Amino acid sequence: MTSLRSETGSVPFDLQALIDALLFSVSHDLRSPLLTLSLSADLLDEALREQVGVPGGEASTVGVALNALRHGTKDLERMLQALTAVSRARRRTLEPVAAPLQMLLGGHVVISDEGDLGRRTVSVDVLAVREFLDATWGDHPAEIHVRIDGEFAILTCPPEDGFSGEPLAALAGSLQSYAGTAVQGLATAQVMIERLGGSLRCEPAHTIVCLPLASPVGFSRGRP
Amino acid sequence: MSQFEHVVIVDDELDHAVISRLVLAQVAPEVGVETFTDLKGLGARLAEVTPRSLVVMDRMLNGTESFGLIEQLKVARPDLTIVLVSAVLNAHDHQRAVEVGATLAAEKPGDLIAWRAFFTDLLGRRPSASGDSAVA
């Protein structure tokens, strides 16, 4: 955990806690005025319906203004939802347990030269990892290659089309580009997997997920 | 027909309180609505609201979380049904709401249609018996 001193010198503060507080306050506090704008647009739409314009006809000034207001609020909402998702991923209580890889990856096509994956266990919060797998590749069984490298199980998963790099960095760098996209889901997964001691990155041809192996006696590790 | 004759809106966001009152007037014009946006002496004023009211309380009031206020109010006025609303809630917040005595915790709906459905649903609920809590 990073601890810094403030510019004024004497008061130490916890950078991670500060980031969590900022994420929560931005995602919560900015949603309130956004909600006001959105509800006001709805009320104006109802009150001025006859002035908004006939569908297919020439848009009135009121109609144009209301549409612009709606588009703006939806775009803001999309970006705030992304911050909320990251905030939740950082604050979510994780309970790592020793989970057999075969069980964790059930439902997908698993390819490995590592022998019986039922005997290989990783230290993860099973629910969090399954949620990520199902949300990302849940529509149909994905082909996942598994190998063991040191203290990690390396999962080579299908790529996210058109994206490579660290999804969290990409989302943080441009909410406008990535909020509400599949990269957002990968970014929140990256947050949780890194908290468990693993990693996630995207390459042009693959998504690489590293999960920490559980110890032979099965005790949990990683940062819950 | 509403299960409640009186609704109290507690929200330091004046716009939200006004819009809530407007929506309530649309979905249940027979229900009396009181809005508390000035938080001065709030605890004492809430302790005197109409018996068996539905209290819809924002989670953040002037930057302070309202869980403690709900807990105190539920002790002083177990006849009230208290609902916590917030722009953002997570599973832990829902749990805390249950623990302090809220009947329900919910994120504020994002559009007018959803607000109407939310209040219609709330007003159709049975008033909570003393000490009962059930969070959706």
pLDDT per residue over B28-83, tens digit each?
999 999 999 998 999 999 999 999 999 999 999 988 899 999 999 999 999 999 99
Residue A137 domain-assigned?
A: yes
Residue A218 domain-assigned?
A: no
* CA dihedral over B76, B78, B79, B83, signed as positive or negative: positive
ipTM strictly over 0.95?
no
With pLDDT > 90 as the criterion, what percentage of chain B qualifies? 74
pLDDT at A115: 77
On whether both A83 and A114 belong to a single domain, the answer is no
On whether both A208 and A103 belong to a single domain, the answer is yes
d(CA B106, CA B70): 15
Domain membership of residue A16 as a residue range: 3-91
On whether both A118 and A189 belong to a single domain, the answer is yes
User: Which amino acid type is present at position B83?
Assistant: V
- Hey, are the CB atoms on B86 and A28 less than 8 Å from each other? yes
pLDDT tens for chain A, 224 residues long, are: 444 455 555 556 688 888 888 888 888 888 888 999 999 988 888 888 777 666 666 667 888 888 888 889 999 999 999 999 999 899 888 999 999 998 899 888 999 888 777 778 999 999 999 999 988 887 788 899 999 999 999 999 998 888 999 999 999 999 999 999 999 999 999 999 999 999 999 999 999 999 999 976 444 444 44
Q: How many domains does chain A have?
A: 2
A82 and A171 Cβ atoms separated by less than 8 Å: yes
Pick the last residue of a domain from A62, A91, A120: A91
Residue A64 domain-assigned?
A: yes
pLDDT at A193: 96
On whether both A82 and A108 belong to a single domain, the answer is no
Interchain CB contact of B66 with A (< 8 Å):
no
pLDDT at A9: 56
Chain B residues inside the 8 Å CB shell of A27: 88
- Hey, are the CB atoms on B88 and A43 less than 8 Å from each other? no
The CATH superfamily assigned to B6-124 is Response regulator (3.40.50.2300)
Eight-state DSSP code of residue A117: G
Say if pTM beats, i.e. exceeds, 0.90. no
Eight-state DSSP code of residue A48: T
Chain A residues inside the 8 Å CB shell of B13: 32, 36
Residue B84 CA: distances (Å) to CA of A87, B93, B131, B134: 21, 10, 16, 12
Residue A201 domain-assigned?
A: yes
> Helices B67-76 and B91-100: crossing angle, nearest 10°?
20
Angstroms from B45 CA to nearest CA on chain A: 25
A→B interface, C-beta within 8 Å = 24, 27-29, 31-32, 35-36, 38-40, 42-43, 46, 77, 84, 88, 91-93
On whether both A86 and A164 belong to a single domain, the answer is no
**Residue A194 is part of a domain; what is its CATH number?**
3.30.565.10
A120 and A100 Cβ atoms separated by less than 8 Å: yes
pLDDT at A218: 44
CA proximity to A29, closest of A88, A80, A92, A86: A80
d(CA B136, CA B118): 12
pLDDT at B34: 96
- Hey, are the CB atoms on A46 and B112 less than 8 Å from each other? yes
pLDDT at A27: 82
Share the mean pLDDT of chain B. Answer: 89
For an interface test with B, the pick among A35, A45, A91, A131 (most B C-beta atoms closer than 10 Å) comes out as A35
pLDDT higher than threshold 70 for residue B22: yes
Domain residue spans of chain B? 6-124
Chain A residues inside the 8 Å CB shell of B108: 35
Residue A184 domain-assigned?
A: yes
On whether both A143 and A204 belong to a single domain, the answer is yes
- Hey, are the CB atoms on A43 and B19 less than 8 Å from each other? yes
Can you read off the two tokens belonging to residue A72? 């703006």
Strand B6-10, strand B32-36: pairing: parallel
Residue A25 domain-assigned?
A: yes
On whether both A86 and A179 belong to a single domain, the answer is no
pLDDT at B84: 97
For residues B8-35, give the mean pLDDT.
93
Poorest-pLDDT segment among A158-172, A205-219, B1-15, B103-117: A205-219
Angstroms from A77 CA to nearest CA on chain B: 9
On whether both A113 and A71 belong to a single domain, the answer is no
Pick the last residue of a domain from A91, A106, A134: A91
Residue A202 domain-assigned?
A: yes
Can you read off the two tokens belonging to residue B77? 């006025």
- Hey, are the CB atoms on B110 and A35 less than 8 Å from each other? yes
On whether both A82 and A37 belong to a single domain, the answer is yes
Pick the last residue of a domain from A66, A91, A116: A91
Residue A217 domain-assigned?
A: no
Helices and strands per DSSP (H, E), number in chain A: 9, 9
pLDDT at A53: 65
